[in-house]
Amino acid sequence: MTTVETAREAKNRHSARLLGQPGVEGVGVERRDGDWVVVIHADPAERDTVRLPRELDGVPVVVAWDGPFQAGR
């Protein structure tokens, strides 16, 4: 099980690179099904072109195809 600290560290290490990819709108950390994951918010229009990881430093990644990211949503 991933801790929130481990998920935040992975997010912090990889956010700049991820945000540099076309279609990536935001990167966050959320609790899903009792585990902490890195969530990549991406533009659904880029679904066929953007390539995103399934994990970062052993932390699961969830891709949210929801367009522009707004913190606190």
Domain boundaries, the chain: 4-64
Tokens (6 digits) for 32: 């899903």
Q: How confident is the model over 13-29, as pLDDT tens digits?
A: 999 999 999 999 999 99
Backbone angles phi, psi at 39, to 5 degrees: -110, 125
Is 18 in contact with 38 (CB distance < 8 Å)? no
Cα–Cα distance, 66 to 30 (Å, whole number): 15
- Which pLDDT value is given to residue 1? 87
Tally helices (H) and strands (E) across the chain: 1, 4
- pTM (2 decimals)? 0.87
Report CA-CA distances (Å) from 60 to 9, 45. Answer: 13, 23
- Which pLDDT value is given to residue 11? 98
